[in-house]
Amino acid sequence: MGSPDTTLGFEVRRLRTQAEFDAALAVRHEVFVVEQGVPAREERDGRDRSGLHLIAVQGGEVVATCRLVFVGATVQFSRLAVKRSARRQGIASALLRATDAESRARGATRIVLHAQTYARSLYDQAGYVPRGREFVEAGIEHIAMEKLL
């Protein structure tokens, strides 16, 4: 009998340390700035200190992150990034479920986000609905979506 294969296992939770915050920012930089060509000054928009950051940890490494900014009863969700090597394992979907739980726990009634249209099915499956037309932000096609809690 072999030991259980945990290589695909991951944990989703809040950031705990400055080192994890730095690791989450490094994932964002790698995904948005290096991979997608978003200008670094747009990626770091000055709202990180007021946000709640969730991470996914796999094999002891931060492989994904997202950010929740609370404005009244609304959560502005953004900066969802999964390292290329960790994609299509359900990690982004797990971060969206954790976002629902964190948002409800704080009494929020609505989550809003700008989805990149190529990944829209991720948000469709998580219960988000579109609000308005597609638009271009940071050179990438987006659509505004929301979820009522």
Ligand X SMILES: CC(C)(COP(=O)(O)OP(=O)(O)OC[C@H]1O[C@@H](n2cnc3c(N)ncnc32)[C@H](O)[C@@H]1OP(=O)(O)O)[C@@H](O)C(=O)NCCC(=O)NCCS
Distance of CA 111 to the CA centre of its chain: 12
Structure tokens at 65: 């992150």
- Smallest distance, ligand X to C-beta of residue 107, A: 25
Type and span of the H or E element at 109:
none
92 lines the binding site for ligand X (CB under 6 A): yes
Rounded Cα distance between 148 and 74, Å, is 9
Block residue for tokens 């709640």: 52
- Smallest distance, ligand X to C-beta of residue 25, A: 14
91 lines the binding site for ligand X (CB under 6 A): yes
CB < 8 Å & 24+ apart, contacts of 35-41: 35/84, 36/138, 36/140, 37/139, 38/138, 38/139, 38/140, 39/138
Residue among 14, 16, 47, 87 that touches ligand X (CB under 6 A) = 87
Residue among 90, 107, 109, 137 that touches ligand X (CB under 6 A) = 90
116 lines the binding site for ligand X (CB under 6 A): yes
Residue among 70, 93, 97, 130 that touches ligand X (CB under 6 A) = 93
Type and span of the H or E element at 29:
none
Rounded Cα distance between 19 and 21, Å, is 5
27 lines the binding site for ligand X (CB under 6 A): no
98 lines the binding site for ligand X (CB under 6 A): no
Interface size with ligand X, residues (CB under 6 A): 18
| Contacting residues toward ligand X, per CB under 6 A | 31, 80-82, 87-93, 115-116, 118-119, 121-122, 125
